[in-house]
Amino acid sequence: MMDSVTILDKTFVKFIPGEEIDAAIQKVADQINEEYKNDDPVLLVTLNGAIVFAVDLLKRLTIQCRISCVKLSSYSGTQSTNHVKNLIGLTEDLRGKRVIILEDIIDTGRTYKHLVEMLEPTGLKDLRIATMTYKPEAYMLDLPIHYCAFSIPNKFVVGRGLDYDGYGRNLPDIYQLKID
Ligand code: IMP
Ligand code: MG
């Protein structure tokens, strides 16, 4: 039996089970715990999508760290738009800090680029990114992706914080848009 969910007008089929996601996030946490053990990084959570990944990752971090949140928006429905909007800006002083951006997904990389440009003038010490999912076929930047739980095909996905018009973030598994 195919495991599927319907959200608004679209059907999605199960793509990555929750247990696999947990295991992959644990591996990312292990890496960060090792590489930041002598630091006190700031984890920059991009609202809303990254909140679920951020919680899952944070529970597994044993290092000293803080979090800060920003809210950007570049998607409308299942289509990326060219425009990244700053809905909630940076409130934290990042001078001299090691910063890790937390993302639910890196698609074209537009949001990532916007974040890098926004963070450059803060005088932070170093910047990396950790993402739950990454679509290499859609990615347009040369910037490295330091920590990634899953590389996925260039298809629309929901669940674990990822949404379709605001819905589906609460699904414990990741689902892929069904094309019939
Ligand atoms: P980018 O700026 O093109 O890299 O897109 C990043 C943002 O687009 C993410 O933070 C998501 O909010 C959204 N996004 C991209 N692909 C998907 C997807 O497959 N499902 C849900 N949201 C997506
Ligand atoms: Mg989104």
pLDDT tens digits for the chain (180 residues)?
Answer: 569 999 999 999 999 999 999 999 999 999 999 999 999 999 999 999 999 999 999 999 999 999 999 998 765 566 666 677 788 888 889 999 999 999 999 999 999 999 999 999 999 999 999 999 999 999 999 999 999 999 999 999 999 999 999 999 999 999 999 987
User: Is 7 domain-assigned?
Assistant: no
User: Is 74 domain-assigned?
Assistant: yes
User: Is 81 domain-assigned?
Assistant: yes
User: Is 28 domain-assigned?
Assistant: yes
User: Is 54 domain-assigned?
Assistant: yes
CATH code of the domain covering residue 24 = 3.40.50.2020
Q: Which amino acid is at 83?
A: H
Q: How far apart are CA 122 and CA 173, in angstroms?
A: 36
User: Is 108 domain-assigned?
Assistant: yes
Ligand nearest to the CA of 111: 1
Give me the domain span that covers residue 51.
18-154
Atom of ligand 1 nearest to the CA of 106: 4
Query: Is 107 among the residues known to form the active site?
Result: yes
Segment (H or E) for 51: helix 51-58
- The total number of structural domains in the chain stands at 1
Q: E strands within 17-140?
A: 42-47, 66-76, 79-88, 98-106, 126-134
User: Is 100 domain-assigned?
Assistant: yes
pLDDT value of position 159: 98
Task: Give whole-number Cα distances, 109 to 17, 47, 119, 134, 150, in Å.
Answer: 25, 16, 15, 9, 15
Ligand 1 in reach of 106 Cβ (< 6 A): yes
Ligand nearest to the CA of 74: 1
User: Is 177 domain-assigned?
Assistant: no
